[in-house]
Amino acid sequence: MNIKMEILKLKMWQLKELYERKEVKPSEVVSLLLEEIYKKDKEIHSYLYVNEKAIEEAKKVDEKIVKGEKLKKIEGIPVSIKDNICTKDIPTTCASKILQNFIPPYDATVIERLKEEGAIIIGKTNMDEFAFGSSTENSAFGPTKNPFDYSRVPGGSSGGSAAAVCANLCFASLGSDTGGSIRQPSAFCGVVGTKPTYGRVSRYGLIAFASSLDQIGPITKDVRDNAFLLKIISGKDKMDSTSVDIDVPDYTEFLKGDIKDMKIGIPKEYFIEGIDEEVKVKVYDIIKILENGGAKIEEISLPHTSYGIATYYIIATAEASSNLARFDGVKYGYRNNDYKNLMEMYMKTRGEGFGEEVKRRIILGTYVLSSGYYEAYYLKAQKVRTLIKKDFEGAFKKVDVIITPTTPELPFKIGEKKDDPLKMYLSDIFTVNVNLSGLPGMSLPVGFSSSNLPIGIQIISPYFREDIMMKVSYFIENELDGGKNG
């Protein structure tokens, strides 16, 4: 085995230790990574854009190391970014033809925070167009493949980010999660993905899908990296009025100690008919590990769970139809040049610029907001959203965290659900209610199926208690790893 290539398998915290011991240069790591991306990503297609300037940035960090200067938290570490998060002077397309040549003049707040700590942006990752999808098949630039099986999807919409982390084509990534778009692909690709509490991380510079649901979060190789990265990107931002001014703890401090007497809730509504048997067995295996660790397992009920998908797709499409009205060919992005009047320019631009799934969701959202249907659909969905939220609030009076499967299935074949949108929407059945409630949730890889496909479990904690979520996740990860994490 090539020892240099083994470097790419390291976690962020391990790479940082190598830098501090001067055992490897950041420029060497970036060179190796670019070489691997050009070789491997032709097949996986996790990237839409690769940042060639990363080498120059890495050489500046080399100089700091030679001089013995102290490195910032993630200085010289290459991370990738989902292509709906604005990056100054680097294309941001949302995997859509309508934004194909768009280069933002500013960085999203999360990108500013990464750069402040010395991160190197290695590239922008593929996704479902405007984050509409659960498979990364809806990208205008072609699908991403699952690194474990190229005939299968990596999940979506942050499928490119999850696949890049899984295939060691970056050391970590940022994704966005509106209804499960970090957690579901993390489960399908066997990596750790967190959707923080709504308001924990600034959305400034995230191209909006559904503003009351979207959150940016980290996708990493292990829980420690996840906790580390979440701390860096979290916190109040004056540019985002929905970000909350609450102290952000150092999440890595919670990655220790036992879980004795912690109360773990298992919602009966999440073990539905049709769930893959191997997924169900793996979740019960984890419950047993938690029980053996001294946790108290309690069956709970979240009675409005079954209404989540319908509620989510009414609210999410309504907000999407409003948010996507700005892409009209006037201000930025693609414009059709063969038109006779303004209305024709709008229609041709949007007709050619948007893909099939985007058009479907705009039509659905416009319909549920239209006169005569607003109260019947949108208003009713908002009322049910409140009931779903109250279910969780009631449950957290009894338990510390809730454990569920992340997905009801294993990674499915590319093309398997492409012509059946309703079947595709059900991929998010276990994740959407977390977004509707604004709660934090994360997906943790817990093993493989008999066909060597990854399985993930979801851990949900109360508002702004990502620390508990990280603690439980780290305990599980450590037990599965035979105590190698400490």
Give the DSSP letter of residue 379: I
The CA distance from 135 to 145, in Å, is 9
Residue 9 known to be catalytic: no
Enclosing H/E stretch for 64 = helix 54-66
Between CA 222 and CA 24 the distance in angstroms is 21
Annotation marks residue 157 as catalytic: yes
C-alpha distances (whole Å) from 358 to each of 129, 212, 312 are 7, 18, 16
Number of H helices, E strands in the chain: 16, 11
Candidate list 46, 80, 134, 157, residue with the active-site label: 157
User: 10 Å Cβ neighbour count for 249?
Assistant: 17
User: For this structure, is 181 an active site residue?
Assistant: yes
Residue with tokens 């201000």: 331
From 11, 16, 25, 82, the catalytic residue: 82
Token pair in block for residue 239: 């540019």
Q: Which residues of 299-312 are buried (b: 16+ CB within 10 A; e: fewer)?
A: ebebebbebbbebb
Given the residues 46, 96, 135, 181, select the one marked as catalytic.
181
Do 281 and 419 touch, CB atoms closer than 8 A? no
| Closest among 70, 66, 48 to 141, alpha carbons compared | 48
Cβ-based burial of 212 (10 A; exposed 0-12, middle 13-18, buried ≥19): middle
d(CA 11, CA 15): 6
| Enzyme catalytic residues | 82, 157, 181
